[in-house]
Structure 1
């Protein structure tokens, strides 16, 4: 039996329409996953009205802690994704990430049994960029590439606990507290996870250059864009979703 793959989405009430579109794009284009794990704060859960999640979607909904700043809060949720699923592999997707073309996860995100971490060897993002500096602040050294590529991202479930343990050992605080001490522009949950895989568990992953990608199946939108409503209407039409 193939190891289970769960898709993990940490969301909140302001992104519910994006979430609906993202889930519809998964239903239309994605294969090879077990279920979609949706995590949100209690206050957002109370705002669910039932129509946000397509009835045919294989989902499990969980509530998580509230944070004064949910931008950091959602990153903390993703750093603890293994606490919400027992899947061998966890695929991360934000609410405003929409699949455009078919994406069979077992062949797109896994290579010979190893999860694939895509990297940019020639990134436009400088080394002193806050998201890249987050890695050197945490580990004391830089990555030789940029790991912030178009989503989704995939990691083995063991990586999360290993990262949390490393934070306690190196920084003497929990990973949650370390993240809460950061500014919005210099905290990257996916940077920390990928860097931990590179520095300590490199052979457990495939490392593929993404610089030349021209037809990646998923696109990330900016949920707070001034053009969000217009974009959502166009995407809804493309996905066969009634505009609301």
Structure 2
């Protein structure tokens, strides 16, 4: 998380705020680590915090007043100058997708996503972070939980088996089915959007080589490029 936030400080400009969401247990240590320019929000403790951090994301609109919410996990590190304009194409958030038919057999997110939505899903929408969605999408997805499953979405997700939910695939599949023209869609093999960040694996730890790489990234240029402010877009950074 420290490297992720340092990279945001080095490379990201024009965003209204950075929000870190963390469970109550351990929040004191997170508060000490994040610095003064980041707003900390506390979420409940969950029995399975992998599912718990997904709950935080599908309720992200309750942690910010932003019109657009950019999600960055603690193992996603920005590597180049980024402004809100880089998250949009023609004023629409872009999403990189890959057809399910091109994936291997290991796709544990697919059945839970289809089970939640009640329809087949043709694409994997988690191909290229960061993931940016308009705030009105979140209450729509929460309403689906009540309509289809009869319980609030936080209870639905928390009650799932391990790896039994995929927040960004649910958001992406719902957006594709109901608001397709409001997004710019790119296929993974031909995507023409810039790669803004590098995706690590937090559970793999940080060895000496990765640490040197991260320190080189967050060092950034001597004078980082700055972009005009866009108060409508905020960067939400749930900690893993």
Name the TM tier (shorter chain).
Answer: 0.7 to 0.9
Q: Which residue of 1 aligns with 2:81?
A: 102
Give the 3 Å change call, closer, same or farther, for CA 206–212 of structure 1 in structure 2.
closer
1:204 to partner: Cα distance: 2.2
C-alpha distance in structure 1 between counterparts of 2:81 and 2:100, whole Å:
27
Structure 2 gap segments, 5+ residues each: 221-240
**What is the RMSD computed on CA atoms of the aligned residues?**
2.3
Counterpart check, 1:53 vs 2:31: no
C-alpha distance in structure 1 between counterparts of 2:205 and 2:38, whole Å:
30
Give the 3 Å change call, closer, same or farther, for CA 156–228 of structure 1 in structure 2.
farther
C-alpha distance in structure 1 between counterparts of 2:132 and 2:213, whole Å:
28
Give the alignment of 1:34-49 within 5 angstroms.
34-48=16-30
C-alpha distance in structure 2 between counterparts of 1:124 and 1:103, whole Å:
30
CA contact (8 A) 2:117 2:144 kept: no
Structure 1 gap segments, 5+ residues each: 1-18
Instruction: Write the deviation string for residues 13-58 of structure 1: whole angstroms up to 9, x where unpaired.
Output: xxxxxx11111111222233111011111122122463x2245xx4
Q: Secondary structure at the match of 1:135?
A: helix
Counterpart check, 1:197 vs 2:178: no
CA contact (8 A) 2:22 2:30 kept: no
Q: Secondary structure at the match of 2:25?
A: helix
Counterpart check, 1:151 vs 2:133: no
Q: Secondary structure at the match of 2:34?
A: coil
C-alpha distance in structure 2 between counterparts of 1:38 and 1:46, whole Å:
13
Instruction: Write the deviation string for residues 75-107 of structure 1: whole angstroms up to 9, x where unpaired.
Output: 11111000000000000000111011222232x
Q: Secondary structure at the match of 1:47?
A: helix
Q: Could you tell which deviates more after superposition, 220-229 or 26-35?
A: 220-229
Give the alignment of 1:2-151 within 5 angstroms.
19-48=1-30, 50=32, 52-55=33-36, 58-106=37-85, 108-121=86-99, 124-126=102-104, 129-151=107-129
TM-score w.r.t. length of structure 1: 0.81
Q: Which residue of 2 aligns with 1:6?
A: none
Q: Secondary structure at the match of 2:211?
A: helix
TM-score w.r.t. length of structure 2: 0.82
1:60 to partner: Cα distance: 1.3
Give the 3 Å change call, closer, same or farther, for CA 124–44 of structure 1 in structure 2.
farther
C-alpha distance in structure 2 between counterparts of 1:125 and 1:177, whole Å:
30
C-alpha distance in structure 1 between counterparts of 2:79 and 2:45, whole Å:
32
C-alpha distance in structure 2 between counterparts of 1:91 and 1:226, whole Å:
24
C-alpha distance in structure 2 between counterparts of 1:145 and 1:59, whole Å:
34
C-alpha distance in structure 2 between counterparts of 1:145 and 1:223, whole Å:
25
